[in-house]
Amino acid sequence: MRKLAAGNWKMNGLKADGIALAKDLAARAARDALGCELLVCPPATLLAPIAEALASSSIALGGQNCHGEPKGAHTGEISATMLKDAGCAYVILGHSERRAEQGESDAVVCAKIEAARGAGLSAILCVGETLAQRDAGQALDVVARQLEASLPKGLDPSEIAVAYEPVWAIGTGRTPTPLQIAEVHAHIRTCLGGLVRDPGNTRILYGGSVKPDNAQALMSVANVDGALVGGASLVAADFWAIAKACA
């Protein structure tokens, strides 16, 4: 299974710097073929120009969210079909920032994954516990519950990747220990057994303060099939170094 290095730009980037970042990554990818897949997920306003900047490169494009319905009266929303039409192959769903800020429930996330599937997009489902939940010894249960309630049954591995993103590790500079990551990723693999057709071939990414200096250690943990990267994906050299660690 090829690892995946995915960059979540979040609400960052205007046209000029987004295009420059994408072109920088495309130039690196043209010079130096990586052994892993590379994905960037810019804000929706940049999808079209970034799709153009990446047109002749191997770097994939993804959205950061989609609606559960294919079209209609949903002001301010974007559908999975629109993402596909803009050149996306992936969409990040259920990110903890959206769960917290937009109140997205597992049921809402499940509908979005169905919509992504209908549009032919691969969904990257984010799961992960808060610090209070980890301290209470509930990390494994929280992740299992999120998987069970967010994943439509019978998905193919190509339709889904799971990103384990402990909420307390996102943007904080803190990461779980390799042992803690190994424990949760093995648990996710087991849980996927009842939910996805071929769980051994479903990518399980780690996300939360992945940086060039910790990427090698994080990416060599068992059952870690890539990284979902926030802050460090906004700097081409840093994201590239992480991708190299994935590869």
Q: Does 175 bind ligand PEP (CB under 6 A)?
A: no
Residue with Cβ nearer ligand PEP (71 or 174): 174
* Residue 104 CB neighbour total at 10 angstroms: 19
Q: H helices within the chain, ranges in order?
A: 15-31, 47-53, 80-85, 96-101, 106-119, 131-135, 139-150, 178-192, 212-219, 236-246
Residue with Cβ nearer ligand PEP (55 or 100): 100
Set 37, 67, 95, 185: catalytic member:
95
Cα–Cα distance, 244 to 105 (Å, whole number): 35
The residue sitting closest to ligand PEP, measured at its beta carbon, is 230
Q: Among residues 143, 208, 223, 244, which is the contact residue for ligand PEP, using CB under 6 A?
A: 208
Q: DSSP secondary structure string, 88-102?
A: -SEEEES-HHHHHHS
**CB under 6 A: which stretch of 107-115, 136-144, 206-214, 239-247 binds ligand PEP?**
206-214
Pair 20, 50: CB distance under 8 Å? no
Amino acid 201 reads N
Cα–Cα distance, 7 to 188 (Å, whole number): 22
| Binding-site string for ligand PEP from residue 118 to residue 157, where x marks contact by CB under 6 A and - marks none | ----------------------------------------
Cα–Cα distance, 15 to 239 (Å, whole number): 19
Q: Does 171 bind ligand PEP (CB under 6 A)?
A: yes
* Residue 139 CB neighbour total at 10 angstroms: 21
Q: Among residues 98, 195, 230, 239, which is the contact residue for ligand PEP, using CB under 6 A?
A: 230
Q: How far is the CB of 55 from ligand PEP (least distance, A)?
A: 26
Q: Does 202 bind ligand PEP (CB under 6 A)?
A: no
- Binding-site size for ligand PEP (CB under 6 A) equals 13
Q: Does 226 bind ligand PEP (CB under 6 A)?
A: no
Cα–Cα distance, 58 to 195 (Å, whole number): 30
Cα–Cα distance, 46 to 247 (Å, whole number): 27
165 is catalytic: yes
Q: How far is the CB of 217 from ligand PEP (least distance, A)?
A: 15
Residue with Cβ nearer ligand PEP (83 or 229): 229
Q: In the complex, which residues of this chain contact ligand PEP (CB under 6 A)? A: 8, 165, 170-171, 207-210, 228-232
- Active site members: 95, 165
